[in-house]
Structure 1
C-alpha cells in the first residue's frame, strides 16, 4: 500500500505523455499535464497532500540520485561543447549570476528576510542542487523547491515563445537561455520543439547548477552587504 501513490504518479505521467504525443503544445507539456492530472485526482478523491507525499517516497528519494544523471547530457554533448567552450561557459556564468542576483534583490525589495534571500537565491537551478544550496546556507529547502518549480513552469510555458517572439533564431542561444533560468522543465519544453535547443539547454542546466553551487555563497554575501 505504501507505494500506491508512486504508482499513481507513474500512471499520471504515462497518461500525460500520451496526451502530449497527440496534442503538441508548449504550454501544456508532459510535466504540466502530469501535475494537473494529480491535482484533479487528489482534489476529487479528497486525499491529503501529506499522505500523497509520504506514499510517494519511493520516487521522492530518487530526486537526490538524479543529480548524478545530470552528468550524462554533459558527456554526450562534449563534442559540441569543446569548440565553443569559452562562449558556453561565459553565457552560463553570466546567466547564473544574473538569475541569483535578480531573484535575491527582488525578494529584498519585497521585504524578505536574509533567510528568505538565501531560500530564493538558487531558484533557477534544478531542484536537488537548489535545495542543497539553500540548506547549506541556512535557507528553507521546501520553499526553495517551490520557487524552483515556479521558475521552471514559467520558462517551460513562456520561455520558448518569448525568445521566438523577439526573433531569436539560433537553437544554441535559445537552449542556453532557457536551460539557464528554467532548468529541467525548460529543457523538456525545448526538447519537444527543437532537439538541438534541448541539447544546449541540458548543457546549460548542468553548468548553471555547478556554477550556482560555487558562487551562491559569494553572491549572497555581496547582496547582504549592499542591502544592510
Structure 2
C-alpha cells in the first residue's frame, strides 16, 4: 500500500478523478456552487483524511500538475488574440479599469486587516489574492508573507469569483461584455476566467487580459500600498 501511495502517479490519478467528478456534478446540476475546482479540492481533502494519507505522498504527483499551471494560464491569451481589435478600440478604459480594480482590491485587504487587527504577515499574504498563484507567491515571499496562506487565498478567491462573480454583475446591472470580463478577471484571475469564457468569447478575452495586467501591476503597487498603510 505504501508503495502505491508513494508513487507519483497516485497524486496525479487522484487529482484527475476528483476533477472529473467535479465536472460531472457541474454538468448535471449547472449550479455554480459545484465549481469543478472547488469540488475536486473538497474530495481530495476528504479522501486524504479518510484514509489518513500524508499530503507529502499526494504532492509527489500533484506537483507535476502544478508545474503546468503557468503554461495553462498563458493559453488564456488565445481568446484575447481573437478580440485584439476590440482591445485596441478600448485600450485606455480597459487599462484604467484593471488598475483601479487591482488597487482597490489590495487597499481593501489592508484596511480590513487593520480593522480586524490581523497579524502583519497574514495580511501581507492576503494582498496578492487576486493574481495567479506563481505571481502571487513570489510577491508574498518578497514582502514577507506566508506563501502557503497566499496560495490558499488565491484559490479561494478564484473559486468565489467564479461562483458569485456573474451574480454580482447582474445585481449591479453590469451588462457590457467588456466590463463583465474585466471585473471577473481582475478580481478572480484564471479560475474566474474559466467562468468568463462560459459567459462569452468577449468576456473570456477581457478576463484573460486582466490576469496578466493585474499581476504585473500588483508586483509594483503592492509594496507601495504596504508602505503607505504600515
Same fold per superposition (TM over 0.5): yes
Count how many residue pairs are aligned between Structure 1 and Structure 2: 224
CA distance in 1, matches of 2:203, 2:58: 35
Quote the Cα distance in structure 2 between the aligned partners of 1:141 and 1:98: 22
Once residues 11 and 110 of structure 1 are traced to their aligned partners in structure 2, the CA distance between those partners, rounded to angstroms, is 39
2:119 aligns with one of 113, 119, 142: 113
Q: How far apart are the structure 1 equivalents of 2:139 and 2:216?
A: 11
Partner of 2:57: 51
Distance in 2, matches of 1:132 and 1:77, equals: 30
2:132 maps to which of 119, 122, 126: 126
- Structure 1 alignment gaps of length 5 or more: none
Does the CA contact (< 8 Å) of 1:73 and 1:203 recur in 2? no
Q: TM-score, normalised by structure 2?
A: 0.86
Deviation at 1:70, TM superposition (A): 5.6
Alpha-carbon RMSD across the aligned residues, in angstroms, is 2.1
Change (3 A) 1:67 1:197: closer
What is the rounded CA distance, in whole Å, between the counterparts of 2:190 and 2:38 in structure 1? 13
Structure 1 equivalent of residue 34 of structure 2: 28
Task: Provide the C-alpha distance between the structure 2 equivalents of 1:180 and 1:192, rounded to a whole number of angstroms.
Answer: 17
What is the match of residue 10 of structure 1? 16
Q: State the distance in 2 between where 1:195 and 1:129 align.
A: 25
Separation in 1, partners of 2:74, 2:190? 14
The 8 Å contact of residues 26 and 32 in structure 2, kept in 1 or not, is answered as no
How do residues 200-215 of structure 1 correspond to structure 2 at under 5 angstroms?
A: 200-215=206-221
Cα distance in 2 for partners of 1:112, 1:76 equals 44
Deviation per CA, 1:162-216, whole angstroms, max 9, x where unpaired? 2112322112111111111111121112223334322221121221111111221
Equivalence map 1:82-161=2 (5 Å): 82-161=88-167
- Secondary structure of 1:56's match? helix
Q: Aligned equivalents of 1:107 and 1:10: distance in 2?
A: 36
Shift in Å at residue 84 of structure 1?
Answer: 0.6
Quote the offset at 1:128 in angstroms: 1.1
